[in-house]
Amino acid sequence: MLALVALVVVALRVYGVPGVSDLRRVTAEAGPWAPLLFVGLQAVLCVTPFPRTVFTVAAGALFGALWGTVLTVLATTLAGLLAYALVRATGGRLVRRYVRGSAVHWTRRRLDHHGTLAVTSLRLVPIVPFAALNYVCGLSSVRFLPYLVGTVVGVLPGTIAIVVLGDAVTGRPAPLTIVISAVCGLVGLVGIVVAARRPVPEEEPAAAG
């Protein structure tokens, strides 16, 4: 690993850091393989807690606002579905020891009883980790279709804002992207409050052994 890092550093010193225009040219020359590779790589890596924002910014820089949004929403959705399916297929054994605590317990109960609303509102809040929410959804009883709809609707506004920022490549966030992100976070918090205020059946006491 250290040797690879050293090799990259030497290459950058010798050949220089490629500009965004150079990267876009290489992406265009790669044809359909570039978006396929991008979607596949993001879908696989974001099953883990890998930061999704890296891909979202890169999508705007490499493919522009329109196609960047389409590709990263597709890849994000695939990553969410893969994580959801893996948790369901393994019975949650792989993540149960890592995904626990009072916040997880609260989130899971809301997902159990307010599927689409809970998934959508939590996706809209930027501070909620994408991968962790995938795992909790897999552990919950939320069904596939509500999970799919909530994921697509929930990630779309924030994704658009960040992809547009990556497309602009100005080094400073545009005021519109800040407004969109703030509105999405506010809507998400409102959704959480609504889900929290809706009654949830009390848990039945465990039977005596």
| Predicted pLDDT of residue 196 | 58
Contact 116, 198 (CB under 8 A): no
Mean of the per-residue pLDDT values of the chain: 74
Answering whether pTM is above 0.85, one says no
Residues 6+ apart with CB under 8 A from 188: 120, 121, 122, 123, 124, 125, 128, 154
206 pLDDT more than 50? no
Of 102-106, 108-112, 129-133, 194-198, the one with minimum mean pLDDT is: 194-198
Q: Please state the rounded mean pLDDT for residues 43-48.
A: 92
Q: State the burial class of residue 133 (Cβ atoms within 10 Å of its Cβ: 0-12, 13-18, 19+).
A: buried
Residue predicted with more confidence, 208 or 108: 108
The residue whose two tokens read 């979607």 is 39
Q: Please state the rounded mean pLDDT for residues 10-24.
A: 53
Contact 148, 81 (CB under 8 A): yes
Q: Return d(Cα 29, Cα 109) in angstroms, integer.
A: 49
9 pLDDT more than 60? no
Residues 6+ apart with CB under 8 A from 61: 20, 23, 24, 68, 166, 167, 169
| Predicted pLDDT of residue 14 | 46
pLDDT tens for residues 67-102? 888 999 999 999 999 999 988 888 766 666 666 666
pLDDT tens for residues 50-61? 888 888 888 888
| Predicted pLDDT of residue 157 | 83
Q: Please state the rounded mean pLDDT for residues 194-204.
A: 55
pLDDT tens for residues 114-168? 678 878 888 887 778 898 888 888 888 888 998 999 999 888 888 888 887 777 7
